[in-house]
Structure 1
Amino acid sequence: MSTSAEWEDLVSTALVGTDRRPLPGQGASEVELLGRAAVHTLRMRAGRRPVGPGEPTAAAPPEEQPAVSRAAGDRLARILGGEQPRLLAEWLETAAARGYRLSPHLLPELLDHAAKDRSIRPHLGVLAGNRGRWLAGLNPAWGFLLEEVTGVAATGSGGTSQVWEFGTSGDRRVHLGALRAADPARARELLAATWEKETPDDRAAFLEVLGTGLSPGDEPFLEAALDDRRREVRHQAADLLTRLPGSRLALRMAERAARYVTVVDGEIHVDPPVACDSAMERDGVRAKAPRGIGERSWWLQQIVARTPLGVWPRLLGRPPRDLVRMKIVDWSREIMSGWVRASVLQGDPEWALELFAWDPLADLLAALPRDKQEIVAADFVRRHGLDGQLIMVLGGAAAPWGPTLARAVLQKIIDVSGTQPWNLGELARLAGERIDPTLHGMAGRLSPEPSIQEVAALLRFRDDMLKELT
């Protein structure tokens, strides 16, 4: 029997079942079927001839970056082996920021890891070096690496025009960001010149870069981007225009807010929109509400979120402190949620602070200036019990935590030791990962409590780790 005929018999039997169509020969069971299929597959692969003459694989190009130290590489291997695995991202981010490359023997494991964990990919663009990109060209599963930052945009090698024209998506983002920081108008003009040729994903990513140095001069370009075919691009443009209080979009949102929200007898009254028209959609209001949310609620919340926060004191005649405490008739959740989103989107510390007192959220804490974050977070830790909300709020405090927040968290660990083992363990791990690692001595001397000593040990581990990468 020919190879193809035998394969067809196997497939036919598998489709109808061995009971209805027994295999020729002695066996007729499913096990026999699978065994013959495995042998047949192996035979076909072994007998396959090369399509053309074999070409030797080109050697990897020489490296240009310094390799990490032996001690740093050994520590990374320990982390990959299961010792403090939650520190992997910090190790990679620190090493990439300093321009190092990984030892070649660590590359396959890390590239396999990054194939599943997208969050570490940007760091590997630098750390993989030329050898890593060579490997990525040979293995499609690692092809993502070829679009990440290589470091050439930061060093300037190869010429800036070549980086923008021929660089990876990651390098082009870095190049545009550096130019935006130095000359915002020139960066916008560079992007505008190639805008129509960019992929939808790149257009959305490049628009995000324009958040640095945002000014009224960007409005015409962003207003035009509201008509982009890709929804992510349109919404990114709307987010940026929301941060420009004098933009046409901001004024359109202010007009809508004035129609829907008023003050009557010291109370906030709301009459939400009854439809989402094309003009609202163009300005970033999504028409389709998520499951479980009414359409009018959804549209109202988005309009409030995109209305410049400076509009509300003028419209309602009260400062932010009073507005967040006023009675809102019927639609309180939508108005407050919209103000929270607006505070985060527009980065308004006054509103963020007032709203944090109303509803402590990690995003509101993150919207505060770094020094204010530490004070507000430490005060919240002292006043609040150890629960999931406390841990979530602390996630909004930028690392590394300084002495004020560190002492508040460590004292909380001491106060609740032995009473809440699950939450206590998570808080201790978070403290060890977020506190400034140079404070390990202070932590170790604070208390002999085992949880505190675990935090101190993790801080020492991080301190040694970062020193090895210096």
Structure 2
Amino acid sequence: MGRDDPREVLVNAPPEWEELVSTALVGTDRRPLAGTAAPEAELLERAAVQTVRMRAGRRPLAAEPVAAAPPEDRPGVSRPAADRLARILGGEQPRLLPEWLRVAAGHGRRVPPHLLPELLDQAARDRSIRPHLGVLAGNRGRWLAGLNLAWGFLLNEPTAPVPTATAGAGAVPGGSGGAPDVWELGAPGDRRAFLAALRAADPAAARSLLTRGWAKETPGDRAAFLEILADRLSPDDEPFLEAALDDRRREVRQLAADLLTRLPGSRLAARMAERVTGWFSVEDGRIRVTPPTACDAATERDGIRARPPHGTGERSWWLQQAVARTPLGVWPRLLGRPPGELVRMRITDWGREVMAGWVRAAVLQGDPEWARELFAHDPLADLLAVLPAAERERVAAGFVRRHGLDGQLIMVLGGAAAPWGPELASAVLEKIIEVSGTQPWNLGELTRLAGERVDPALYGEAERLSPEPPVQEVAALLRFRYDMVKELS
């Protein structure tokens, strides 16, 4: 330890400092300071004075100057847009921050430097707002991220909007130009963006590119790349995904099993169908279930996790997962009933597990018919999201008109993707007017959802619809969003 090392302050501390430390450790009640009526304050004052004495005259540590931030290569947002972002970060309509970031990134803009620290601090706590920050933070943001470990996540985010890939398989690594450089040398976020663009343009080329370097990728990157393969998934992807079932990382294995479950003709789907065949039968108009009694290595390889969550029985857990991974087309053939009838039939003993498995299967396999029947039986937001857009709007609007204002209504509306169309917007606004006369105190979340999900261009219609305060709150929020988007255009 050298003369300039600040740790020497404590290692070679004088006796007075040791006395103060001992008093602080045992407390001033047990070791009082003489001649003072406020021993705690006196102790802190003496410690402060002693610290200054010990540090006096010491030379600062040698340090290298920090390199200047590189110049920006992307235009900033307008002054009004920056002012609105500052207001949002300051607590005005904070739930609109993700929308502001998404719209601004879509225009290829960047946020002003003075707002970067607060925005990065918030993103350090909230992962959901990170995806667009690689674009919005610009070169200054990445420079800051290199100086602060808490902001290091930014270096893994895409630095530009996802490009449109036009290259075929022969043009990816090994050639020249920006695209191969991004894949070989780019940051994780830029590599994900490149693979996603290539997958959209040429699925086979993306899969081939991924296969060639798969063994060299980190476990985290392998999982992220598998998620990208969900776009334009086809039977041609099965051999690659089947091999990924043997990956060392559980997250990768689970993602591969999820994707294979979406391919009803896959070998995994056939294996799951074979397993459940002996567990189900119809007797006296009821579905009789005999759950599995074991979970072997082959079953685990197909995505069934052996260890259940706390409070869940093993057989319940295995049954629910197996049902979720079985092709939904199996059940009408096995049980001799169409989906709507199966959903309404009584299931002996294990109904909760079977229904949960069917819900998960409908979501995972994106099956509108099963989602429609299951939603009619038990309205869940995840099921609503599976329906085609026009039907989703109609079903959600009908549910709003029939259902009272409660937590389930709010959760279902949360599954209705923005922007809401005219039918759903009208149903929700009518519900707000209806409830405002009886339970105005209960409208907070519904009015916020309406203001965040309805097309902001409809703010004028909302203003004219009703003078009721909750409706006017929706209109004000819509106007806020309308101005926000306009400032970013």
Query: Is the TM-score greater than 0.5?
Result: yes
Larger deviation: 104-113 or 387-396? 104-113
Separation of aligned partners in 2, 1:106 and 1:164: 31
Q: Partner amino acid for 1:75?
A: R
Q: How does 1:263-342 map to 2 (within 5 A)?
A: 263-342=282-361
**1:88 lines up with 2:97 in the alignment:** yes
How has the CA–CA distance of structure 1 residues 171 and 423 changed in structure 2, closer, same or farther, with 3 Å as cutoff?
Answer: farther
Alignment partner, residue 418 of structure 1: 437
**SS of residue matched to 2:163:** helix
How has the CA–CA distance of structure 1 residues 203 and 328 changed in structure 2, closer, same or farther, with 3 Å as cutoff?
Answer: same
Alignment partner, residue 178 of structure 1: 197
CA contact (8 A) 2:70 2:139 kept: yes
Q: How does 1:359-438 map to 2 (within 5 A)?
A: 359-438=378-457
Q: 1:55 Cα deviation (Å)?
A: 3.0
- Correspondent of 2:80 among 71, 84, 94: 71
Q: 1:202 Cα deviation (Å)?
A: 1.4
Q: 1:210 Cα deviation (Å)?
A: 0.4
Alignment partner, residue 139 of structure 1: 148
Q: 1:413 Cα deviation (Å)?
A: 0.5
**SS of residue matched to 2:233:** coil
Alignment partner, residue 3 of structure 2: none
Alignment partner, residue 239 of structure 1: 258
**SS of residue matched to 2:278:** helix
Q: 1:421 Cα deviation (Å)?
A: 3.1
How has the CA–CA distance of structure 1 residues 40 and 155 changed in structure 2, closer, same or farther, with 3 Å as cutoff?
Answer: farther
Q: Partner amino acid for 1:265?
A: D
Q: Partner amino acid for 2:320?
A: Q
Alignment partner, residue 61 of structure 1: 70
Separation of aligned partners in 2, 1:338 and 1:162: 44
**SS of residue matched to 2:132:** helix
CA contact (8 A) 1:263 1:316 kept: yes
**Aligned positions, number:** 468
- Correspondent of 2:367 among 345, 348, 373: 348
Alignment partner, residue 127 of structure 2: 118
**SS of residue matched to 1:65:** coil
CA contact (8 A) 1:96 1:127 kept: yes
Separation of aligned partners in 1, 2:50 and 2:388: 66
Alignment partner, residue 108 of structure 1: 117
**1:160 lines up with 2:179 in the alignment:** yes
Larger deviation: 28-37 or 118-127? 28-37
How has the CA–CA distance of structure 1 residues 152 and 337 changed in structure 2, closer, same or farther, with 3 Å as cutoff?
Answer: closer
**1:450 lines up with 2:469 in the alignment:** yes
Q: 1:359 Cα deviation (Å)?
A: 0.3
Separation of aligned partners in 2, 1:204 and 1:406: 38
CA contact (8 A) 2:69 2:143 kept: yes
CA contact (8 A) 2:281 2:335 kept: yes
Identity %: 75
Q: 1:266 Cα deviation (Å)?
A: 2.4
Alignment partner, residue 171 of structure 2: none
Q: Partner amino acid for 1:96?
A: A
Q: Partner amino acid for 2:120?
A: L
How has the CA–CA distance of structure 1 residues 390 and 226 changed in structure 2, closer, same or farther, with 3 Å as cutoff?
Answer: same
CA contact (8 A) 1:305 1:340 kept: yes
Return the TM-score normalized by structure 1. Answer: 0.93
Q: 1:423 Cα deviation (Å)?
A: 2.9
CA contact (8 A) 1:67 1:102 kept: yes
TM-superposition CA deviations, 1:67-103 (whole Å, max 9, x none) = 1111211211222222222111111111011111111
Q: 1:364 Cα deviation (Å)?
A: 0.4
How has the CA–CA distance of structure 1 residues 22 and 368 changed in structure 2, closer, same or farther, with 3 Å as cutoff?
Answer: same
Q: 1:350 Cα deviation (Å)?
A: 0.7
Q: Partner amino acid for 1:124?
A: L
CA contact (8 A) 1:65 1:100 kept: yes
Q: Partner amino acid for 1:182?
A: A
Q: Partner amino acid for 1:128?
A: A
CA contact (8 A) 2:460 2:475 kept: yes
Q: How does 1:246-261 map to 2 (within 5 A)?
A: 246-261=265-280
Q: 1:221 Cα deviation (Å)?
A: 1.3
Separation of aligned partners in 2, 1:154 and 1:177: 9
Structure 1 unaligned spans of 5+: none
How has the CA–CA distance of structure 1 residues 21 and 460 changed in structure 2, closer, same or farther, with 3 Å as cutoff?
Answer: closer
TM-superposition CA deviations, 1:151-204 (whole Å, max 9, x none) = 075278961111112222111111111111111111112112222222222111
CA contact (8 A) 1:153 1:172 kept: no
Larger deviation: 358-367 or 118-127? 118-127
Separation of aligned partners in 1, 2:52 and 2:390: 65
Separation of aligned partners in 1, 2:233 and 2:203: 8
Root-mean-square deviation (CA), in Å? 2.4
Q: Partner amino acid for 2:417?
A: A
Separation of aligned partners in 2, 1:414 and 1:153: 42
CA contact (8 A) 1:152 1:158 kept: no
Q: Partner amino acid for 1:354?
A: E
Separation of aligned partners in 1, 2:24 and 2:164: 59
Separation of aligned partners in 2, 1:461 and 1:17: 55
TM-superposition CA deviations, 1:24-44 (whole Å, max 9, x none) = x97895555544555555666
CA contact (8 A) 1:95 1:127 kept: yes
TM-superposition CA deviations, 1:122-150 (whole Å, max 9, x none) = 12111001111111112222111111111
**SS of residue matched to 1:138:** coil
Q: Partner amino acid for 2:362?
A: S
CA contact (8 A) 1:152 1:163 kept: no
Q: 1:433 Cα deviation (Å)?
A: 0.6
Q: Partner amino acid for 2:437?
A: G
Separation of aligned partners in 2, 1:215 and 1:462: 39
Alignment partner, residue 98 of structure 1: 107
Q: 1:394 Cα deviation (Å)?
A: 0.2
Q: Partner amino acid for 2:98?
A: A
